[in-house]
Structure formats: C-alpha cells, structure tokens
Amino acid sequence: MSENVVIITGASRGIGAATARLAAQRGYAVCVNYATNRDAADRVVADITKAGGRALATQANVANEADVIRLFDAAAQALGPVTALVNNAGILEQQMRLDEMEAGRFERVFAINITGAFLCAREAVRRMSTKHGGHGGTIVNVGSMASKLGSPGEYIDYAASKGAIDSLTIGLAKEVAEEGIRVNAVRPGVIRTEIHASGGEAGRVDRVAKSVPMKRGGEPEEVAHAILWLLSSESSYSTGTFIDVSGGR
C-alpha cells in the first residue's frame, strides 16, 4: 500500500506543528516546512520520528517560487509522491488602522499569505492532478474567520489576504474536481499560538475570548483535528467547503 505524504507549510510552530504531529499519528509521512526557525522544525520532526513516524524538515519561503518547487521536490524525493498539502504558512503584522499602514507591509503580507498559498496549490495540482498523470490528492487551506470579520483596527490587510484564501478554495475546488483533487479550508477563530505576539499583543487570545460565544480561545490541536478530517477519505464528498473552528464567533 502506498503511503500518504503531506506537505504542511509553516509546520514548525502553532497550528502547522499541531497538524504535523496529528497527521503523523494518523499514518502520514510529513514534510515539515518552515521559514527560519530550524530548531522548532527539528523538534516537530524529532517528536514524530520518536513515535515511529516519518518526517522531514524543509526550509522554504512559500512566497518564493523556486523555494516552493524545491520544497515539493525534496518532499517527494525523501518521502514519496505527495498526496496532500496543508497550505498553512501565514503572517500578520503590528495592529493598526489602514490609514497608518505603509505600502511595504501590504507586499509582505500578501506575498506570504496569498502568493505563497497560490504557489503551493499550483505545485500540488501539477503533481497530483490526473490531468498531469498524478493519482489525485487533497488540499486543505488555512484561512481565517478574519475574512468574514474584517479585523478593523487590527489588520484589515491580513483579513483581506484570508478573503483571497476563501476565493482560492472555492475556485480551485471547482477547477480540479474532476481531476481527483479535493480542495477545502478551515477558518480558525482566535487560537492560542505565537502569531498574536507578531501583531504586538501576545495576550490577544485572552482579551478576544470574552467576545467568543464559547468564552475561550481555541487550541492548535482543535484546528488540526478539522484539517485532518478534511484531508481524510471521511470527507470524500466534500470539496470547496469550509469548517469554521472558532467557538461560534
């Protein structure tokens, strides 16, 4: 039986790392992509291999086309043909109003959150689509509830980049539905990871939790479970769909 091989972008920390560990528990060989934090990626790989799984840490900036191609080649070479992609890598910048933002910030946020996701999805389709001689596969995009809420006063640019992830999910799902590839997305709400510190408010989860109907933030593992369901054959008739993992927010 051939093995499931998943590339998870931004898997050194947060939601991506939790997804990598859970995927390995479910029998996937996992390519743990990271941008700069080699030690954190190595720790995820060590956890997986210690538990008897197969994993590989691979540095690649998802916003860089050559890096993304190298990422997919390295995963296939070390682990076998890639059968799944989790488009998870994402950033946000300092909280502020739109009228305070400098132009370079839009380029950085859109390059990683939008172009990065598009480049990775493109490589996955080129390798998995039956149209290109592949055997099919699954893509799960990590969007955000911010696409619907808009993140006023914090990061409208980030929210808009996640709106693009929603559209990518809907359009690509229809484009490759007959080619053996399902494309779905999770939209996390406020999840306990280090991303909030990069917005300048490390304690954001606890502040926002009060406005969440369930009155708490989410854990990365709770998002990982939704991702793994969308990756698995249990969701075989779902494509172009979304799971909001947001405590009702």
For ligand NAP, how many residues bind (rule: CB under 6 A)? 31
Out of 37, 95, 130, 232, point to the residue binding ligand NAP (CB under 6 A). Answer: 37
What's the closest the beta carbon of residue 81 comes to ligand NAP, in angstroms? 22
Near ligand NAP by CB under 6 A, which window of 85-93, 102-110, 123-131, 227-235? Answer: 85-93
Q: Which is nearer to ligand NAP, 35 or 139 (CB)?
A: 35
Q: What is the 3-state secondary structure (H, E, C) of 13-72?
A: CHHHHHHHHHHHHCCCEEEEEECCCHHHHHHHHHHHHHCCCCEEEEECCCCCHHHHHHHH
**Which of 21, 116, 14 minimizes the C-alpha distance to 69?**
116
DSSP letters along 179-231, please?
Answer: GTEEEEEEEE-SBSSTHHHHTT-TTHHHHHHTTSTTSSPBPHHHHHHHHHHHH
203 is an interface residue for ligand NAP by CB under 6 A = no
Tokens of 41: 């990626």
Tokens of 80: 């076998």
Q: Which is nearer to ligand NAP, 4 or 9 (CB)?
A: 9
Q: State phi, psi for 197 to the nearest 5 degrees.
A: -65, -35
112 is an interface residue for ligand NAP by CB under 6 A = yes
What's the closest the beta carbon of residue 138 comes to ligand NAP, in angstroms? 18
Q: How far apart are CA 50 and CA 37, in angstroms?
A: 20
Site string for ligand NAP, 128-147 (x = CB under 6 A): --------------x-x---
Q: State in Å, rounded, how far the first CA of the chain is from the last one.
A: 41
Tokens of 62: 């998802």
89 is an interface residue for ligand NAP by CB under 6 A = yes
32 is an interface residue for ligand NAP by CB under 6 A = no
Answer for the pair 79, 29: CB distance below 8 angstroms, yes or no: yes
Q: Do you know the residue count of the chain?
A: 249
Q: Does the active-site annotation cover 158?
A: yes
What's the closest the beta carbon of residue 28 comes to ligand NAP, in angstroms? 17
Near ligand NAP by CB under 6 A, which window of 36-44, 77-85, 93-101, 168-176? Answer: 36-44
Near ligand NAP by CB under 6 A, which window of 23-31, 93-101, 189-197, 224-232? Answer: 189-197
185 is an interface residue for ligand NAP by CB under 6 A = no
Integer-rounded Cα radius of gyration of the chain: 17
62 is an interface residue for ligand NAP by CB under 6 A = yes
Left, alpha or beta for 32 (phi > 0: left; psi -120 to 50: alpha)? beta
Out of 4, 5, 13, 155, point to the residue binding ligand NAP (CB under 6 A). Answer: 13
- Residues with a catalytic annotation lie at 158
- Binding residues for ligand NAP, rule: CB under 6 A, are 9-16, 33-37, 40, 61-63, 88-91, 112, 116, 142, 144, 188, 190-191, 193-195
